[in-house]
Amino acid sequence: VVPPVAILAQEPHRGDFQGGAVMVFTVRTRKFLTNPLLGRSQFVVDILHPGASTVPKTDIQAKLASMYKVKDDKTVVVFGMKHKFGGGKTTGFGCIYENLKTLKQFEPMHRQLKLGVAEAKKKMGRRAKKELKGKLKKLRGTKKNDAKK
pLDDT band per the 50, 70, 90 thresholds, residue 148: confident
Summarize pLDDT for 29-53 with one digit per residue, the tens. Answer: 999 999 999 999 999 999 999 988 8
For residue 108, the surrounding DSSP H or E stretch is: none
CB 16 within 8 A of CB 7: no
Higher pLDDT, 9 or 132: 132
- Predicted pLDDT at 22: 65
Report, as an integer, the average pLDDT of 63-88: 93
Distance CA 132, CA 95 (A): 42
Pairs from 59-64 (Cβ < 8 Å, separation ≥ 24): 59/11, 59/13, 59/25, 60/27, 60/92, 60/94, 63/9, 63/11, 63/27, 64/27, 64/29, 64/94, 64/96
Report how far apart, in Å, the C-alpha atoms of 54 and of each of 36, 88, 126, 138, 143 are: 32, 8, 39, 57, 56
Report, as an integer, the average pLDDT of 17-31: 76
- Predicted pLDDT at 149: 79
